[in-house]
Amino acid sequence: MSSGVAIAASYEVPPARFPDVSPHNLYRQVAIAALRDWGLRPSDVNGLLAVPSGQGVGTIDIYTHERLGAELGLVPGVAETLNAGGASFAIMVGRAASAIRDGLADCILCIGTGKFTKPTSGGAEVMARMISEPDFEIGYGPFIPALYALVASRFMAERGATPADLARVAVSARQWALRNPRAVMHAKGPITVEDVLSSRMIASPFHYLDCSVPCDGGGAVLVTTDEKARRLTEQPAYVLGYGEAHSHGSLSSAGDRLIHTVATRTGDDAFRRAGLSRDDIEMAMLYDAFSATPLILLENLGFCKPGESGAFVQSGAIDPGGSLPVNTNGGLLSFGHTGEASGMSLIVEAARQVMGQAGANQLERAATAFVHCYGGMMYEHASLILGRSR
């Protein structure tokens, strides 16, 4: 069942370090490269969705769509700089689909670039105040890996996942990265569960290799009508299903949703709208800021029964050749985490696989792809199902 909307093209800068490029200039470079690559002219694009840039370097620009739209000579019928953290990119596709159905636009550039620069100590405390409650959490020394570690600890206690199960997710991500020349860890060789468990402890249960790799980068997709998509490409990635939900704003206010996240709802909504079931899915992109989150998502989204995600990943199911390939570009764990643009890499990879454009890393079976992005420490969620057939 199609929503009448499709991804017609994608573009991505392989993750790297661009110390001399400002956040906005990175946006400009990715935008013009994408639009030229797709063979479009300014009059072809009538929508622009972006995320705020500069979050990683402390110069947040919440008006990206205004500057970038003007620089590209666009007069869009829909344009917005939207922010739901890592969930922003699946949400962008959802917003674009709604706008197209409402007749506001029919050719929407969805774009994100990010710089995930290691902050100074002072900058890290400023960041900690931003991502935690500045009154009732900051006093306890929170930072992103430790906050995710709280979620992971509860998941492990309730569902029985082990440190080796978490490590196995990072091992799988590296296996995929070895197949993908664009992954930042492509040339770093394989890793074992033992390698992960013996890397230095950051915040239990997370070792160094349980954490994603910070870098700079970005990408874009073009969302348009089914008809226009077919004129632009032989094989569009049709948007078959979408779900979105937002539940809390801090871990202290998460309650039971700390690990029983609203991903369950967004997944159910996306499947219902697509008229598909879990068994119909041939690959999945599951936001993996840390090794534990794909396990939580596999269970919350219904790909595994509660408590079975550890055995699932240990069986090789999410690896190359497995029954449900997951994070086939190497994931944030080994492809790279491009800061505020991180979620875009999930959308781009799923679109490429479905469109048959994944190159060296192309799967034999990728007729349907499930994408799940979340923001905050799993506070807000969006699920997207892409497919080759309407």
Partner 1 sequence: MNGGPIPEVTPVNQPFWDGTAVGELRIRTCHSCGTRFRFVSDWCPTCWSADLGWEAASGRGKVAAMTVVHMAPYESVAARVPYVLALIELEEGPIMMSNVVDCDPARVAIGMPVQVTFEARGDLQLPQFRPA
CB 322, min distance to partner 1, A: 30
In the complex with partner 1, which residue's Cβ is closer, 6 or 378? 378
- Residues at the contact surface with partner 1, assessed by CB under 8 A: 121-122, 124-125, 128-129, 132-143, 145-147, 149-154, 157, 200-206, 251-255, 258
Shortest gap between Cβ of 163 and partner 1 (angstroms)? 13
Residue among 129 and 188 whose Cβ is closer to partner 1:
129
Q: C-beta of 262: minimal distance to partner 1 in Å? A: 17
Question: How far is Cα 222 from Cα 93, in angstroms, rounded to an integer?
Answer: 9
In angstroms, what is the minimal distance from the CB of 150 to partner 1? 4
- Whether residue 56 contacts residue 92, with contact meaning beta carbons closer than 8 Å, is answered with no
Which of 80, 133 has the CB closer to partner 1? 133
- The nearest distance, CB 68 to partner 1, in angstroms, is 33
Taking the least distance from each CB to partner 1, the nearer of 80 and 125 is 125
Cβ closest to partner 1, residue 31 vs residue 151: 151
